[in-house]
Structure 1
């Protein structure tokens, strides 16, 4: 028992730079307290002391803000960072060296009995607010991005983001991203979050605009080369970058404020 306790505390030092010393982790980490509570309630639940197991589990939830069903199976060196709002269902299975952040749900998608919660293999990391739902399998060393909703199996070493969760291809396969970044830099645009596989629809639209600009830019370059061969000099001028003045931002804010005031004036509080 004490060797497992020491192992748990050492795992915190490996994954949380804010951990200062043994006493700090022992007394101030609710994620550890919730796991230790589960280590007491899980054997009770398996030995058919279900009411007592659920009762003690609810006390642990009240103290830590973390709800782990006593029927869940948890491996070694499991770490819940911050922890508030974490929910782990009855048939969830968690391997060794798994890390969850606050707001994570390992939930079910059915009211039927039997296996209805996810299985997390060794080394999985689930970001804050993510929902992993259903009897799916998250393979070893996979990473789930914050606020993602995952309802399908995830392969080994993959990274999943978005709603619904989509697998991000390895960096060496993101050829479109490099082209987008190059054209965005040329036109003075910050290309953050406009990757080809981004699930955000606005970012996707921006990415399509950048793809269009990249294609048009290449065609204009071809035309310029032919014009230069014919002795023309119309393509010597560089394309200026795009900038937004503070005055433009102030004007946009003023217009937005006028719109809000108009809505408030037109609102009738009487029912």
Structure 2
């Protein structure tokens, strides 16, 4: 346990250039406090002391702004940068050397039972505000861009961006070479386009019906 706690401290110095001393990190880093509290809560959860585990988790959430369910499994050298607003669900599994930033959600997509939260493999980085939802897998060495919403599995060595998230780089090769921010998926705009096409189709049908009705009327007059 002491070795694990020291690893949690060391990774802060590796990931955060603002870290100056051990005493500063131990006393002031809320992400570190949240991880330590979770390790205690998870130990109680594994022993089926569920109520005590949840109490510890809720106290940690109150003081740190990070909500980690006691059932979540977190590996070594997990780093939460800034931390505020981070949510990690009950059946989430996180590997080693994973970094998440503020506002990240590793959550479910509904009220389904069983495995309903993501599995995050080793050496993954999840940037600010990203949402990874459902029982999906983010494979090793992948990155999730800020603000992305990931709903499907992500292959290893990939960079994912957008809503919904899609891989733009895999194994160092751009999946879409002409991708830029204006080309990111936009489901709202796509829906408007579909509605516009539907309106045009209906207008054409109405026009054809009017012309057909006019022809019938003219034939009756003749």
State the TM-score, normalizing by the size of structure 1.
0.65
- The question of whether the paired residues in 1 share the 8 Å contact of 2:168 and 2:174 is answered with no
Name the structure 1 match of 2:130.
130
CA distance in 1, matches of 2:176, 2:41: 50
Alpha-carbon distance change, 31 to 173 in structure 1, aligned in 2, over 3 angstroms: closer
Q: 2:185 corresponds to which residue?
A: 199
Q: Is the 8 A contact 2:167 2:175 kept in 1?
A: no
1:109 equivalenced with 2:109 (yes/no):
yes
Report the equivalent of 1:43. Answer: 43
Q: Give the Cα–Cα distance (whole angstroms) in 2 for the partners of residues 175 and 73 of structure 1.
A: 34
Alpha carbons of structure 1 residues 173 and 38: separation in structure 2 relative to 1, 3 Å: closer
Report the count of equivalent residues.
189
1:23 aligns with 2:23: yes
Higher RCO by CA contacts (8 Å cutoff, separation 6 or greater): 2
- In 1, the alpha carbon distance for the partners of 2:112 and 2:69 equals 17
Q: Tell me the secondary structure at the aligned position of residue 167 of structure 2.
A: strand
CA 1:173 to 1:117, structure 2 compared with 1: closer, same or farther past 3 Å? closer
For structure 2, the residue ranges without an aligned partner over 5 or more in a row are 188-222
Q: Distance in 2 between matches of 1:176 and 1:81?
A: 31
The Cα of 1:198 is off from its aligned counterpart by 2.8
Name the Cα RMSD after superposition. 2.2
The whole-number CA distance in structure 2 between the counterparts of 1:176 and 1:7 is: 39
Secondary structure of the residue aligned to 1:117 is coil
Secondary structure at the aligned position of 2:4 is classed as helix
Larger radius of gyration: 1
Contact 2:123 2:141 in 1 (8 A): yes
SS for the counterpart of 1:129 is coil
Gaps of 5+ in 1: 181-191, 202-271
Distance 1:64 1:46, change over 3 A: same
Report the 3-state secondary structure (helix = DSSP H, G, I; strand = E; otherwise coil) of the residue aligned with 2:115.
coil
Contact 2:168/2:176, CA 8 A, preserved across alignment: no
Matched with 1:165 is 165
Corresponding residue number in structure 1 for 2:66: 66
The 1:172–1:138 alpha-carbon spacing in structure 2 relative to 1, beyond 3 Å, is closer
Cα distance, 1:6 vs structure 2: 1.4
Cα distance, 1:176–1:66 mapped onto 2, change above 3 Å = closer
| Shift in CA distance, 157/33, structure 1 to aligned 2, threshold 3 Å | same
- Tell me by how many angstroms 1:24 deviates: 1.1
| TM-score where L is the length of structure 2 | 0.79
Three-state SS of the structure 2 residue aligned to 1:169 is: strand
